[in-house]
Copies of this chain bind each other. A is one copy, B any other.
């Protein structure tokens, strides 16, 4: 951490800052610039990151140099983490994993039909919501445990894995009994108690980026899970909220290579929520592969026009199958590119 004094700061103001730093057991190095005195803090500044140096008289600004996350950082763990979901491997450079399914589980027949389509296109993991976070209390909130049973059965019949959202600490045990990956939704990226609690399950966690989550907050959210000794985190980029309303969210695909620089955990993309418009999903799925993502999660429905939720962004069987052919061509191209790098 660096503390920058105002150009007109007094000697006493400087001393007051220095004394506080020393009181915390750290040492300082004082840098007399042309206009500003700059104080460098030497030692483990994690202990004083909460000190409000900005409110000391004579202080202009403070700059943090170290990140607050450790276990999540690429510096701490230089190799890619590969999350193993009962044999389906996410991360590393070998393959691109697809998770597909409906927004909401609507019944056994529907989720079975989705599973059939998902698998036919090459998906290995079945998605589907049993607990749905909805803006309005009057909107459909999900089939809850009944839905969990249906998705488990549909997946088991075809040898697929399951990812589904858990919204509430009280439901973790129930959801964990049916699902292979626990998904934390965008609205809960900073629900810290929930992060700690799912961390403790030891299960793989699909951690969606918050609706307006920064890269730094997202990495710190993963840290809440990792400090529970759970290193099975999968980041899910799903678009962020911006001024642009032509798409449901602004799909921040640059987050893929950026997160890969900063963290060792795998990252997948969600072009369905990222765009909110079904015919933008295939090009953005291709772009996701090309950006270096480790996989994707997409919404499909046998009959999007009659879906109970998120129909406008769902692919039907035909558009999904076409997209998956394109994705396979992209995956092959990426393998060629990886071969170049060697």
Binding site for B on A (CB under 8 A): 2, 4, 7, 16, 20, 29, 31-36, 38, 40-46, 49-56, 60-61, 63, 65-66, 68-69, 75, 133-140, 167-170, 187-188, 190-193, 196, 211-212, 214-217, 220, 223-224, 227, 240-247, 250-254, 256-258, 261, 274-275, 277-280, 283-284, 286-292, 304-312, 314, 322, 325-326, 329-330, 332-333, 336-337, 340
Contacts and interface: CB of A to CB of B under 8 A. Distances in A.
A137 B223 contact: yes
Nearest to A134: B192
A31 B29 contact: yes
B140 A50 contact: yes
A279 B257 contact: yes
Instruction: With a 10 A CB-CB cut-off, give which of A7, A16, A66 has the most chain B CB atoms.
Output: A66
8 contacts: A2-B63, A29-B31, A51-B311, A52-B310, A187-B190, A212-B212, A250-B252, A284-B291
A19 B115 CA distance: 29
A33 to B, nearest CB: 6
A31 B40 contact: yes
A181 to B, nearest CB: 21
Contacts of A311: 51-52, 54-55
A192 B333 contact: no
Q: How often does this chain occur in the complex, in copies?
A: 4
Interface of chain A, main secondary structure: mixed
B33 A42 contact: yes
A268 to B, nearest CB: 14
Contacts of A330: 290, 333, 337
B34 A43 contact: yes
B216 A55 contact: no
Contacts of A253: 251, 253, 284, 287
A196 B220 CA distance: 28
Contact of A135 (B68, B310, B333): B68
Contacts of A217: 135
Contact of A329 (B31, B241, B326, B333): B333
A120 to B, nearest CB: 17
Contacts of A283: 256-257, 290-292
B246 A242 contact: no
A75 B311 CA distance: 25
Contacts of A332: 333
A312 B243 contact: no
Contacts of A292: 283
Nearest to A277: B258
A262 to B, nearest CB: 9
B329 A216 contact: no
* Residue picked from A136, A224, A256, A275, most chain B C-beta under 10 Å: A136
B187 A312 contact: no
Nearest to A280: B257
B35 A66 contact: yes
Most chain B Cβ neighbours within 10 Å, of A61, A193, A215: A193
Contacts of A193: 167-168, 170
B322 A329 contact: no
A38 B41 CA distance: 11
Given A52-B305, A340-B326, A242 B245 contact: no
